[in-house]
Structure 1
Amino acid sequence: MTRLTGLYPGTFDPLTLGHIDIIKRAVKLVDTLLVGVAVNAGKGPLFDLDERVDMVREALDGIDSEARAQIKVVPFDGLLMHFAEQNGCQVIIRGLRAVSDFEYEFQMVGMNSFLNEEVETVFLMADARYQAIASRLVKEIAKLGGDIDDFVPPSVARRLLAKVGRG
């Protein structure tokens, strides 16, 4: 039986409870899940790549012991499909929060299928509790003095508050 490797890519600046929800559900579908932390300098991340990788690893510590899949947090730069191919991924996992997410993701699936039609994309709908959570909004709330405890794990909250001068 072929082992299935999935890839859940993102900038994770910062990792939110919505991301963790998708990861916890994705590990039910694959044998190995790569959480690909993208460089994505175009988005102007608040945290550098090493900080984001460490943040994701810390927040996910222990989750793979409850899951049937092994979780690996891996940084990457460049084309998503090249990264998926280099790591033997057969499935790309994407989370959807709203219709606007779907429109963007629909275009990405079309382009990715032109690059490699053997790699499938699977969409997981965000749990209703997390549909409004977006990393950019969490950063803004933190910068403006709001409470972010309902949006990110405690380890991420500490790092984010320190980064914006509230830690």
Structure 2
Amino acid sequence: MFGQRPSFFQESIDFELDAEWFTVNGLYFLANSTDERLRSAIFFPVAARTDSIRLFKVIDVTKAERLDVKVVENGFFFHVWMMPRDTIVVNIEYAQPSRRVNEYVLESTQTWGQALKKAAYSLKVDDDLRIDSLSLSPDSICGQTYFWSRNDFFPSENFCVWVEKFP
């Protein structure tokens, strides 16, 4: 079956921020709740111009295979194949240039029509940088690393990290 979308129900993302790059390394969990094989094009939006990002990998972790990516102006597309009643995990890693306000697109969760059952995030900040503010209040902080854990998370705005005195 082509054209139907799997459900996007969980994500776990590690962010790293230094003077040059805001790096995203995430695991994205998708489920096919139908009784048919499913092929779906997935759009992954980014908050920076795609000609400025470094795309490291888009991998179907479940099958241990790299996925082909088509880059467009504000994100990229990839396809997933899923067996009936199956779940897959996709690992996406990329970096966008650091700036005073570093942004990750969370509000696109709204387009999936349901909250994430679970979401876990960490942000490791280089010792040379200081955080001015965060759009999400962290659950805990250990040194220069911030942690978040959410259940039934349906964000209506993006995750932003404001940096003091950006170089």
With the length of structure 1 as denominator, give the TM-score of the two structures: 0.32
With the length of structure 2 as denominator, give the TM-score of the two structures: 0.32
